[in-house]
Amino acid sequence: MADRKPIESWLTDMDGVLIHEGIPIPGADAFLKKLRESGRPFLVLTNNSIYTPRDLHARLNRMGLEVPIENIWTSALATAQFLDDQRPGGTAYVIGEAGLTTALHDIGYILTDHEPDYVVLGETRTYSFEAMTKAVRLINDGARFICTNPDETGPSTEGPLPATGAVAALITKATGKQPYFAGKPNPLMMRTGLNAIGAHSETSAMIGDRMDTDVLAGMEAGMQTFLVLTGLTRPEQVENFPYRPSKVVDSIADLVDRI
């Protein structure tokens, strides 16, 4: 097998890699500092579509982690890029928060519930039964069904919360229509992110804490993959998957010297 090319750009997941329950993971600050100083292209990714990159920049900054706005890539941005490529200047009925609606406004989309081209489902703190009912009817009337990400649950201090994937399943059950998911593990999110920073998959690496999203998406996009054990996937679970990361490390701290 041919040796991999040296890593020139880095993509890293946020939750479980850089932060955990609002607290920076040891080594995250050193990793990001070395990336900034190296001048290498990098992105911090998240499947969460609630926040804009500006929001996430401010939240990370309050935790002591400096990530420039242009180095943050969300499933909302990936979804907007996909829709802009598919149907420029289209219309959409959106269930989601500012991260998603802002991304769609920025590509020139009109948000409407009158014969939209798409129904776009993202993350929100309060899923409305009325909004879901409207989405079902619009999809039945011909709107295409798009979701930012397939995560079925999200974290909270009280325990797991229903997330986009779970609500998508409800809408699919009511319409018989499967959505197209733009976020991880769809390698589309990686490829659009790489394009955004002018990087190439052959010389890029993806760091994540989940085998079923981060590692899978990175692998399918043609990147080297690093699994950290500070998030959801435990060491004994790695062998349960039919694919492997390029390397398993304890935490982001173990990768600082790789930059």
Active site includes 84?
no
Query: What is residue 4's predicted lDDT score, i.e. its pLDDT?
Result: 77
Strands 224-228 and 204-208: parallel
Residues 6+ apart with CB under 8 A from 142: none
- 194 CB-near residues (< 8 Å, 6+ apart): 9, 11, 200, 201, 204, 221
pLDDT tens profile 97-123: 999 999 999 999 999 999 999 999 999
226 occurs within a structural domain = yes
**Position 243 in a domain:** yes
123 and 162 within one domain: yes
Using pLDDT thresholds of 50, 70 and 90, give the confidence band for residue 2.
low
What's the whole-number mean pLDDT along residues 137-163? 89
Percent of the chain with pLDDT over 90: 90
Burial class (CB in 10 A: 0-12, 13-18, 19+), 6: exposed
The CA–CA distances, whole Å, from 167 to 120, 141, 190 equal 12, 19, 24
Q: Which residue range forms the structural domain that includes residue 231?
A: 9-47+185-258
**Catalytic residue (one of 3, 15, 106, 151):** 15
- Indicate if the pLDDT at residue 1 is higher than 50: no
CATH of residue 168? 3.40.50.1000
CA distances from 259 to 31, 36, 44, 152, 252 (A): 8, 10, 15, 33, 11
Exactly one of 3, 13, 84, 214 is catalytic; name it: 13
Annotated binding site: 13, 15, 184, 209
Backbone φ and ψ for 170, nearest 5 degrees, come out as -65, -45
Length of the chain (residues): 259
Q: Considering the chain, what percentage of its residues have pLDDT values greater than 70?
A: 98
Residue 27 counted as domain residue? yes
pLDDT at 152 over 50: yes
Q: What is the mean pLDDT of residues 130-135?
A: 98
pLDDT at 226 over 70: yes
257 assigned to active site: no
Lowest mean pLDDT, pick from 81-95, 155-169, 227-241: 155-169
Binding positions for Mg(2+): 13, 15, 209
